Structure 1
């Protein structure tokens, strides 16, 4: 299929979403990138986007002619989503893309025989802003404002059919800059006050909505020559937006605000605020009536959109890792903002992690289990916030909505609530598997070492944590180290580890569902138990991290490794 559309900046946050939207509509799309075309195609394939109409082309918009060597004679719609978006840029670097690059795209588009429209992405605070004051605005906003004015003038001069979209802060999977830094500080307990006053308005727009809006523009004759503010007017004022996200994440929201004027006067070493971001902290409102008039679908509710984005940020460690496969996010369980991944209604396995990890410690297992899985972070001991009552009450509420009779798999500390739940609710489970049950093993030494006291534990890196526990460094140790750095988490982990020696033998004897125990040969049981035991040769306390294939065999009852009764 020959391309009828071209998207510059196709590997970027907005560009990739627009390419996906156009491909799903059956367009032939030339995705113009400077590099990383294979990554773009792979990312689209992972989302089941049809790729028959995709052609990845190499372009450099900072060069006249864009360096395009492909035959693109049939292109009629040109989208420029390319931009240099960062704070602290030099003026020359910012202008090369945001001004010169934008004009080069227009000049190239003017050579197309069948040109129908050029859609240029500007910004909601720069529309028609006139000559920029780089010293006051900074290189990013200054260049975007200069580019907006220059693009309008060049299009009028050359008779180019132009439409400008001025989106606000775009939220969605992959957005890790701008407002995301505020959410990061909130999540990590580093936001003592909300920047700006109570009326500060930082509007947002959903990525999927924006992509659809952009894709619709060329076919609508009414949009030629116009510019549109694309933002959600229902976005809460910034303090209320922070409270909404904080409640969803289960973290405290700051009660105070800091006026912008004071932020400007305080040293950046104290505030942590990038000076260029302060101009976005205003009470200005924007006329979105014209955008609403041409939009073909309603804007999604802003509250759920913000919560989904917050889930994406946490799932990826704010851009440091890939998200888990399948559904994920926070759900309210027994008063806890509980982090869940996988199948909530009909899982075959429910996985509960031990310490000091979270449900990411099961990721290798999830990939190997050929069945739907639900993995949960224990309240207060992973990404989940503390619950209102004991762990077994939380577990009972978590499983109340499960319609299947799953195998409950618990590791180490989690064996306690799992045993109590199985004893109290046998009809809800098909099997109970206890992996390295701490109450039947020798006490773990690491929480009592002075070198791993709470203050030091909070500063543990992923590599140091992996060495201390005798496991390979992995996304699981990265996630665990990030959790330990959050306020109160290291203290709760150490307290829970020291309390993990509860006497559960009598409760275990009352469990009527089938029970299997799996341990590593380097971390054996020290208390005999009248239950089947599988020993994984060479494994320690964390076989799900060191011997995932063997543990999957044990869960399947495959007989390898050998089952040894004690």
Structure 2
């Protein structure tokens, strides 16, 4: 194995991979020790972080084995970081002990045999400090195994004079963390949090991932940290009720008004509480002394980001990733209640969806465009909050930070907002593209031939809706359905559909007053029934949603590759 400065166990995990990235950025040679099958996951993540991996060696390990399945010492290793753990509720006691207890001891003893060892840093939970002895695994094997390991490692290190430092991070917040607090935020977002477990002074501390990585990586450089434990948390974290109110205000959803004692919540059915009983043990009023950690942090020149900003950004990530169900889009998040994805100040394209979709319906088109684009969920639809503003006023706010003259693209209902802005600010729009403008097409529900109760739509399967809309099943439809099943969204979608039908003549008249260049795209199965003097391009073999069925062709039209402003009607084949 090549010479290496540092080795990180659990290197493909949430904290471990950030340690690897920080070490590499600092110029260290690093061995990433991880379970078989995780190599590609780590490489992909590091590539996404634009980390130079020239100094990286990847090896597989099994910390459940006394020799870690490494076959001997690693040449030159000075610093050993153990971020390997089973971080999951509902673990079998033997499984938890094999990794979180026995595995931790194996790493400690392996590190002690390294001839150039400077430090071993063990990463565990903030509630594990000063634990030890036998634990009650009946209340949860995850925390019990971590607490027991904490005490045992200290005793072994003291007896054998092994240079051990323990880092005790609290709830680490960063992209890709779906554990603990994420479930509470997701339940809040989904309307499944009528009351909050705990009490008015329940304290669930959080800490920023970058802060944790920088702090832990630097511990071996600080001689006075040997034999000590460092809680890593932001003491400015608000109490849990205040934290949830802050997040609820950002998401524009109702915060729970009441708290319930955890003892009572434990007795309620999980189908009612949507809470893992094991997670309830983390809900306490305990506070933690971070004074020693703060001294080291100041010495290293690192500080916590504002906790309110950290929480808002983290909540955006929970919504964007559907709490771990899908890969999150890093550029997605809320601004003043509107859900935005993409480039917010310098887009070449601004994309507005139709019913029953959301901004994710443009994902394939944006990929084909390969240009800065901004997609927004319309007010009250998708993930955006309800707004009393009319489309024109909402577009004013959406476009306020935009410094470019973009192409504004509206699909179906989205054409309402696009036209309103083009009328108000023709100098700020380079071109208007209307895809399937419903006010010029046959008035009908896109799901059935008759009005649909919103609750019926919520119960439809993805396959049924895809067949009736004439679109493929896929991420765009799955995203739209996830939103429609949130409280109130399906009803607001149906109301918007009815309101749009009542304003057909108004929009048709407004279109005649638009002075910027306008192009219209429709599918051959959903043609215009109203006449217009604007250029119309027809894509054959599709209906009301060409951006989902033929994103490559739509992207070409948006770029202007196949659209002629001087020509009245084009027909483009999908074959």
* 1:511 Cα deviation after fit: 0.5
Query: Match of 1:532?
Result: 535
- SS state at 1:522 partner: coil
Q: After TM superposition, list the pairs within 5 Å mapping 1:108-127 onto structure 2.
A: 108-127=110-129
8 Å contact kept, 2:447–2:465: no
Query: Match of 1:487?
Result: 487
Within the candidate set 172, 186, 189, 1:187 is matched to 189
8 Å contact kept, 1:352–1:376: yes
Q: State the distance in 2 between where 1:18 and 1:254 align.
A: 37
Q: State the distance in 2 between where 1:449 and 1:115 align.
A: 73
Deviates more, 1:451-460 or 1:470-479: 451-460
Q: State the distance in 2 between where 1:380 and 1:388 align.
A: 9
Query: Match of 1:328?
Result: 332
* 1:177 Cα deviation after fit: 1.3
8 Å contact kept, 2:22–2:213: yes
Within the candidate set 162, 169, 172, 2:171 is matched to 169
Query: Match of 1:202?
Result: 204
Deviates more, 1:418-427 or 1:458-467: 458-467
Query: Match of 1:346?
Result: 346
> Structure 2 stretches of 5 or more lacking a match?
571-575
Within the candidate set 516, 527, 532, 1:513 is matched to 516
Residues 405, 71 of structure 1: alpha-carbon distance in 2 compared, 3 angstrom cutoff: same
Query: Match of 1:315?
Result: 320
Q: State the distance in 1 between where 2:520 and 2:271 align.
A: 52
- SS state at 1:133 partner: coil
Deviates more, 1:455-464 or 1:95-104: 455-464
Residues 452, 156 of structure 1: alpha-carbon distance in 2 compared, 3 angstrom cutoff: farther
Residues 267, 517 of structure 1: alpha-carbon distance in 2 compared, 3 angstrom cutoff: closer
Q: State the distance in 1 between where 2:19 and 2:451 align.
A: 51
Deviates more, 1:72-81 or 1:453-462: 453-462
Q: State the distance in 2 between where 1:46 and 1:452 align.
A: 43
Query: Match of 1:144?
Result: 146
Query: Match of 1:399?
Result: 399
- SS state at 1:443 partner: coil
Q: After TM superposition, list the pairs within 5 Å mapping 1:246-285 onto structure 2.
A: 246-285=248-287
8 Å contact kept, 2:366–2:555: no
- SS state at 1:458 partner: helix
Q: After TM superposition, list the pairs within 5 Å mapping 1:349-428 onto structure 2.
A: 349-428=349-428
Residues 538, 260 of structure 1: alpha-carbon distance in 2 compared, 3 angstrom cutoff: same
Residues 132, 184 of structure 1: alpha-carbon distance in 2 compared, 3 angstrom cutoff: farther
Query: Match of 1:545?
Result: 548
8 Å contact kept, 1:132–1:143: no
* 1:354 Cα deviation after fit: 0.7
Query: Match of 1:89?
Result: 91
Q: After TM superposition, list the pairs within 5 Å mapping 1:444-483 onto structure 2.
A: 444-447=444-447, 453-483=453-483
Q: Residues 324-383 of structure 1: CA distance to partner in whole angstroms, max 9, x if unpaired? A: 3x6221101xxxx11111111121110001111111000011111132111111111111
8 Å contact kept, 1:128–1:149: yes
Q: After TM superposition, list the pairs within 5 Å mapping 1:59-70 onto structure 2.
A: 59-69=61-71
8 Å contact kept, 2:187–2:274: no
- SS state at 1:290 partner: helix
* 1:94 Cα deviation after fit: 0.6
Residues 172, 304 of structure 1: alpha-carbon distance in 2 compared, 3 angstrom cutoff: same
Query: Match of 2:303?
Result: 298
* 1:242 Cα deviation after fit: 0.4
8 Å contact kept, 1:78–1:118: yes
Residues 168, 377 of structure 1: alpha-carbon distance in 2 compared, 3 angstrom cutoff: same
Deviates more, 1:136-145 or 1:20-29: 136-145
8 Å contact kept, 1:167–1:205: yes
Residues 559, 138 of structure 1: alpha-carbon distance in 2 compared, 3 angstrom cutoff: closer
Within the candidate set 288, 297, 300, 1:286 is matched to 288
Q: State the distance in 2 between where 1:11 and 1:398 align.
A: 38
8 Å contact kept, 1:350–1:407: yes
8 Å contact kept, 2:353–2:414: yes
Q: State the distance in 2 between where 1:357 and 1:276 align.
A: 37
Residues 460, 181 of structure 1: alpha-carbon distance in 2 compared, 3 angstrom cutoff: farther
Q: State the distance in 1 between where 2:38 and 2:450 align.
A: 47
Q: State the distance in 2 between where 1:3 and 1:358 align.
A: 48
Q: State the distance in 2 between where 1:55 and 1:464 align.
A: 49
Q: Residues 503-538 of structure 1: CA distance to partner in whole angstroms, max 9, x if unpaired? A: 211111110011110111111111111100111121
Matched length? 561
Query: Match of 2:34?
Result: 33
* 1:272 Cα deviation after fit: 2.9
Residues 70, 305 of structure 1: alpha-carbon distance in 2 compared, 3 angstrom cutoff: farther
Correspondence 1:13 to 2:14: yes
Residues 451, 397 of structure 1: alpha-carbon distance in 2 compared, 3 angstrom cutoff: closer
8 Å contact kept, 2:470–2:542: no
* 1:71 Cα deviation after fit: 6.4
- SS state at 2:102 partner: helix
Residues 71, 106 of structure 1: alpha-carbon distance in 2 compared, 3 angstrom cutoff: closer
8 Å contact kept, 1:132–1:145: no
Q: State the distance in 2 between where 1:234 and 1:467 align.
A: 51
Q: Residues 407-445 of structure 1: CA distance to partner in whole angstroms, max 9, x if unpaired? A: 110000111121122112211111110001011111233
Query: Match of 2:81?
Result: 79
Q: State the distance in 2 between where 1:270 and 1:552 align.
A: 46
> Structure 1 stretches of 5 or more lacking a match?
none
8 Å contact kept, 1:465–1:481: no
RMSD: 1.8
Q: State the distance in 2 between where 1:305 and 1:130 align.
A: 33
